[in-house]
Structure 1
């Protein structure tokens, strides 16, 4: 098989792939996912409220605003996608004609080779056109998507706080609400591995450290004893200063 024939066959195979891509179905799928994600935020905020998280009151307002923005934008997107897909289809029809003309020269590699650069350029133009169309549509809702993802990440963090709260080994004070929790090490002795690791809780009433780890593992992997107990709690009213440490 001649080099020109191999190039032609590769371009024809690429054309078949492009016929599917110019439909821009990935955008339709993405918009469907965005609709589900945006609509699901209200359900997620309701869940964390039902679990007792009383902070980040601005979330409801943000979610309401995002749902409103998406409701206004979404109806415009199918028409834009259709317009872009039709433009790409016209380019694909031109490429099809070029391939058919080149295909008439399969028995003459020298003549076929002369068609290859033009076909390659047409393929590249369509590929760039697809990228441009996808970017053009996605740019319209990129800001909404970014905010949805930020809120989803916030929910993930909050649910982790609440999971730690539910698993705590000590009793919470009446009406006490956890604002946040984080993995921490209490530098009780300054001896590194001898100092307890666990969870540091910040509530609306106090700062609490709970040891929560498995100690005495063989080679750091096997066996060991699970340790979980509250080490200390300090009322927020007694904390006069906080100093950060870079590690």
Structure 2
């Protein structure tokens, strides 16, 4: 009976026969092509909807040079015209070779090797390891671990990444400062484009090739050193000496690899860093100008330098503030917090922020400029001093400034360039026309006041009105004709 009941229960496995609905063609019910038909919106030509050129076009204004646009060599300059759009990441045509794989020799490796080797040498295995020998083993292992890390060449990979990033970002940053009023450094745009071309088409490919060669050699040297260090037996001096020799050889190879690659990109890295310094100085200078409520630049007046300064008005001390140099004026603005009330004669109880322009003279009124370094100890901590003597027409006879963070020699040289007009040659092309217009305006003032007939001195470039010193009349430049 039980067997008959079991026979009656056999039909349940029949659901397996659901595959029989397909007969001998089990593949017909399956429809793998159907998911593919989701692209039927493009008809029999699925490729037109794809737009691979579009991502490439996003970097045509400043990214890597694309082989599809050889007719547009001037585009690297225009990559800064995208406004606030973040600069695209620099995507070189070839990835850098990967550094050697990590080979970490654990401290226990030598101990295990010592146990195995000790069994082979018999009685020597039971001897106590001499302290000086154990010290050698520890030293060779530590040196290997340090060199294994150095063999990754992480500093080199980081330096290459920084150069890539700076060559992409600096044109955008320079354009921002241009929009804020930085009109000089006219060769910076061309310099950045030239550096970018030199890096992409010459230096970087050579760096990639050299890296590939050096990584292969480091791999081989690491294998040998790793093998020797793993075999170290503190009770067998010969194994320690072999490990020391292998590690010393690895050290020479790592140094050679670093020097070979670094020597290729170091010169252009220095040039890029110098361009970055100029752009950063321009940004900091404009930030300081924006922080002034009293200083207003004239038409076509271009700022050149700005530095935190102490004006030695009375001997060797005085108000602290910011010294500005433009292509027309030298301006010192006191900008410091001054204690107005003390508690117990010692502690600050009240203070106020003083921001006041004390010196505002034309650069052509500077008759003598000198610079020097004072104080310090063994060449350290010297103070950069800028001393100026002014003409009788200026509202101040002389001034002495302690510059903090910049060289007084650079300031003296820049003042001379302004006085000779040489600095005007350094204007960016977009601001040359404004310079000419400002010169025409300053030359259009009458020679005498139309109200009291007092003589009107020659007006500086960019001045749009003159207040007569005698009658107070406001005189405007005359219209041509």
TM more than 0.5: yes
The superposition leaves residues 151-199 of structure 1 with CA deviations (integer Å, 9 ceiling, x where unpaired) of 22222222221111101131414323211112233333x2444x22211
* Counterpart for residue 36 of structure 1: 165
For residue 149 of structure 1, report the CA deviation from its aligned partner. Answer: 1.3
Equivalent position to 1:232, from 356, 359, 365: 359
CA distance in 1, matches of 2:229, 2:316: 70
Count residues with an aligned counterpart.
239
Could you state the TM-score of these two structures normalised by the residue count of structure 1?
A: 0.83
Gaps of 5+ in 2: 1-127, 375-481
* Larger RCO, structure (CA 8 Å, separation 6 or more): 1
Equivalent position to 2:312, from 187, 193, 196: 187
* Counterpart for residue 146 of structure 1: 270
For residue 40 of structure 1, report the CA deviation from its aligned partner. Answer: 1.8
Q: Tell me the secondary structure at the aligned position of residue 56 of structure 1.
A: coil
For residue 223 of structure 1, report the CA deviation from its aligned partner. Answer: 5.0
Q: Tell me the secondary structure at the aligned position of residue 183 of structure 2.
A: coil
Call closer, same or farther: CA 1:89–1:71 in 2, change over 3 Å.
same
Instruction: Note if contact 2:289-2:295 (Cα within 8 Å) is conserved in structure 1.
Output: no
The superposition leaves residues 7-33 of structure 1 with CA deviations (integer Å, 9 ceiling, x where unpaired) of 435534654554454343442332122
Call closer, same or farther: CA 1:173–1:158 in 2, change over 3 Å.
closer
2:282 aligned with 1:158: yes
Call closer, same or farther: CA 1:16–1:203 in 2, change over 3 Å.
closer
2:253 aligned with 1:129: yes
CA distance in 2, matches of 1:143, 1:5: 45
Instruction: Note if contact 2:173-2:279 (Cα within 8 Å) is conserved in structure 1.
Output: yes
For residue 6 of structure 1, report the CA deviation from its aligned partner. Answer: 5.6
CA distance in 2, matches of 1:50, 1:70: 27
* Counterpart for residue 219 of structure 2: 89
Could you state the TM-score of these two structures normalised by the residue count of structure 2?
A: 0.45
Q: Tell me the secondary structure at the aligned position of residue 359 of structure 2.
A: strand
Call closer, same or farther: CA 1:6–1:222 in 2, change over 3 Å.
farther
Call closer, same or farther: CA 1:184–1:23 in 2, change over 3 Å.
closer
Instruction: Note if contact 1:201-1:209 (Cα within 8 Å) is conserved in structure 2.
Output: yes
Instruction: Note if contact 1:169-1:229 (Cα within 8 Å) is conserved in structure 2.
Output: no
Call closer, same or farther: CA 1:28–1:51 in 2, change over 3 Å.
same
Please identify, of 120-129 and 16-25, the stretch whose mean Cα deviation from structure 2 is larger. Answer: 16-25
The superposition leaves residues 54-75 of structure 1 with CA deviations (integer Å, 9 ceiling, x where unpaired) of 0111211221111111112212
For residue 35 of structure 1, report the CA deviation from its aligned partner. Answer: 0.8
Gaps of 5+ in 1: none
For residue 96 of structure 1, report the CA deviation from its aligned partner. Answer: 3.3
For residue 39 of structure 1, report the CA deviation from its aligned partner. Answer: 2.0
Q: Tell me the secondary structure at the aligned position of residue 244 of structure 1.
A: strand
CA distance in 2, matches of 1:223, 1:124: 65
2:245 aligned with 1:116: no
The superposition leaves residues 209-241 of structure 1 with CA deviations (integer Å, 9 ceiling, x where unpaired) of 211112228669885321101113112333333
For residue 246 of structure 1, report the CA deviation from its aligned partner. Answer: 4.2
For residue 131 of structure 1, report the CA deviation from its aligned partner. Answer: 1.6
* Counterpart for residue 368 of structure 2: 241
CA distance in 2, matches of 1:183, 1:99: 56
Instruction: Note if contact 1:211-1:230 (Cα within 8 Å) is conserved in structure 2.
Output: yes
